[in-house]
Structure 1
Amino acid sequence: MTHSTASRQARGTHQWLALVIGVVYLLVGIAGFLVTGFSGFVEHDHGQTLLGFAINPLHNIVHLVIGLLGISLWGTSGGARTFGWLLLVGYGAAFVYGLFAVGNPEINFLNINTADNWLHGLSALAGLLIAVWPARARTVEQPGSTETLPRDVR
């Protein structure tokens, strides 16, 4: 019996992390709309929270977009790494923004509280982890030799 080299490829850990983070953010975005509805799009009201995290409809949309990106990019190693870089830059910027926005309703259009800000910082770090996760080694068998190549080499 011969096995095709085009058969299903093993996914890297960074890809699974991208998928999990994408699914979690998608579910949080959907659940957020169950709490906020669609009114008060950029309202700053910490009375609207989901598990202690402040939300508003705009914040929910951001979660949906991040979730959809993770789900759509996880399938390839390069796509997952791109998602990681997007998380790092996007949530890194959100974390810095949150340092100024928390406690300042005039600029806090995403309704960020301290818990959100910590989660954004952790999400940025998760993005860095996904982006730079080491490539897995794989064994490529050719008649008469075995050669180990990085997983991302195709």
Structure 2
Amino acid sequence: MGAGIVLIVVGILGFIPGITTNYSELRFFGPDSKALFLGLFQVSMLLNIVQLAIGATGLTMSRTAMGARNFLMGSGLLYIVLSIYGFIVGVDSAANFLSLNTMDNWGLHGDGRSNGRRRLADDKAPGRRRKDPVINPRDIGSRE
């Protein structure tokens, strides 16, 4: 739930002048958007909307433990893919449709790894019961 709330807050703050510097240069999408969230992370309206959508998905999925774990793994994978995409296409490329700069790419990469680690750590938590059945090889074929 916490990750979803944070993403929604970040998505909203990306639309607020002052928190987002160069606000007059905020564009809907593309590398021409020169607005900077907290003066560091290049943002566009599309990127803010994506953050809001991912956050809302996180809130919805966090209603169950399995949903929360799946959200962490899925959003972690998505963020790693977006960071790699951002590193490959570069900051000034027309293919940079989300308006990602180098700080965004590193931030997305870190968030992706962090989400994946939280998901994996949760699976290895002491006392967690296995949800999948454990089959004893000696029981196979012994049904009457």
**TM-score range, shorter-chain basis?**
0.7 to 0.9
Distance 2:8 2:48 in 1: 9
Q: Does 1:125 align with 2:113?
A: yes
More strand by proportion, 1 or 2?
A: 1
Identity percentage of aligned residues: 30
**2:46 corresponds to 1:58:** yes
TM-score norm. by structure 2 comes to 0.74
CA distance in 2, matches of 1:130, 1:75: 17
Deviations along 1:59-80, whole A, 9 cap, x unmatched?
A: 0011001111111122321011
Equivalent residue runs for 1:101-120 within 5 Å: 101-120=89-108
| Distance across 2 between alignment mates of 1:71 and 1:151 | 25
Give the CA deviation at 1:46: 5.5
Corresponding residue number in structure 2 for 1:47: 34
Task: Quote the Cα distance in structure 1 between the aligned partners of 2:112 and 2:91.
Answer: 22
> Partner letter of residue 121 of structure 1?
H
Match status 1:68 vs 2:56 = yes
Q: Is the 8 A contact 1:88 1:127 kept in 2?
A: yes
Q: Unaligned 5+ residue runs, structure 2?
A: 18-22, 133-144
Deviation at 1:152, TM superposition (A): 6.1
Provide the rounded CA distance (Å) in 1 between the counterparts of 2:42 and 2:60.
26
Q: For residues 36-65 of structure 1, give each alpha carbon's deviation from its aligned partner in whole angstroms, at most 9, with x where no partner exists.
A: 58x731132353011111100110011001
How far does the alpha carbon of each residue in 1:81-129 deviate from its partner, in whole angstroms, 9 at most, with x for none? 1101211221111011011233333111111011111110011112212
Cα distance, 1:75–1:136 mapped onto 2, change above 3 Å: farther
Partner of 1:12: none
Equivalent runs, 1:65-104 vs 2, <5 Å: 65-104=53-92
State how many pairs are aligned: 123
Are 1:30 and 2:15 counterparts? no
Q: Which runs of 4+ in 1 moved over 4 A?
A: none
Q: What stretches of structure 1 of length at least 5 have no aligned partner?
A: 1-18, 138-148
